Amino acid sequence: MPGLSHTDALSVLGLGPSATLADIKAHYRERCLKCHPDKGGSAAAFRELYEAYEVACAHLISGSVGGGRQNFSFTPEEWAVVVERLRGHRDEARRGAAASVAAEKAHLAKVREMRARRAAGEQVDEGACLKEARLAARAAAEEAKRNFDKSTQANTKGANSKDDTPTVRPTEEEPTPAPSQPPPTKANNFKPSTGATETTKDAPTSNSAVTASTSGGTEATKKDTERGESATVCSSGGANTMDDTATARRTEEDPSAANNKPTVTVPAAATKLSKRQQQHQDEARARRQELEERSEEAAKRRFRV
């Protein structure tokens, strides 16, 4: 029957337009017991029944309008319940995935540590290390679940409460001092009442420098000698002593000048590894990389959301 429609197929099966897929299957089995050639029926009648069954099922399964397909309509309240249920399933899946990833990372870290200790030549109890890795993975999974629950509760609370987020109000900018009026420091204290600047003992001026050059020449010479400077510059007189004192003070103010010290170089023979140690390190590095790749692939296959 080449041009059989859905309505005709339902009529052959003895059903109405509101029949469902279960009704179609039940009536088809019932009619097969009567129309099958083994039960005394004709082959043409059984072929017609089978074609009607195929057309009726294909019409319902393909999603066409009509037949036994029911049109569902949700109210806003019912739809909100459905969405909330779907979100709960999504959060549960994410919670499990986060715990599994954290457990895999903790287990892998312990395995790496065991491999590194073994590569360094240390005697390692593999059973104890694997047990420790399992415990670390379990603890990491529990911690990840707790953190996920805390973040979910915080997000839910922030979404439900309207006044949780504080309102950012514009603040008045603090007036910045003018360039002509620098802030008070130890060397330069500004007095607003007199408009003058009081110079302390630490501020190097021309008079204080001359006094230091005339009275403390011996002390400045000793400092310059300790820093490896030329003795002729230190003994050249008051002017040279004043320049050396200023140079010493600049060195004390500039910490980078004190860092210019000869670096102690370690000979290459002391840091060079033997061929066996280098081979152990290369093997350990290759094992770690292989374990990382396997762990990432397993996590992607197992916990794909």
Domain boundaries, the chain: 6-61, 74-151+275-305, 206-257
Q: Is 162 exposed, middle or buried (0-12, 13-18, 19+ CB in 10 A)?
A: exposed
pLDDT for res 73 = 64
pLDDT of residue 231: 42
In CATH, the architecture of 6-61 is Orthogonal Bundle (1.10)
Indicate whether 14 pLDDT > 50: yes
Q: Comparing C-alpha atoms, which of 292, 300, 273 is closest to residue 115? A: 292
Give 97-113 pLDDT, tens digit per residue.
Answer: 888 888 888 889 988 98
Mean pLDDT, rounded, for 48-68: 71
Higher pLDDT, 117 or 245: 117
**Coil, helix or strand for 247?**
helix
Q: What gap in Å lies between CA 4 and CA 51, rounded to an integer? A: 8
CA distances from 196 to 180, 188, 189, 200, 283 (A): 12, 10, 9, 13, 73
For residue 226, the model assigns a pLDDT of 53
- pLDDT(258) > 60: no
Give me the residues paired with residue 198 across strands: 189
CB 109 within 8 A of CB 293: no
What does the pLDDT read at residue 173? 44
pLDDT, residue 300, reads 80
Which pLDDT score is estimated for 41?
77
Q: Helix, strand, coil shares of the chain as percentages rounded to 5?
A: 65, 0, 35
**Token representation of residue 46:** 């059984």
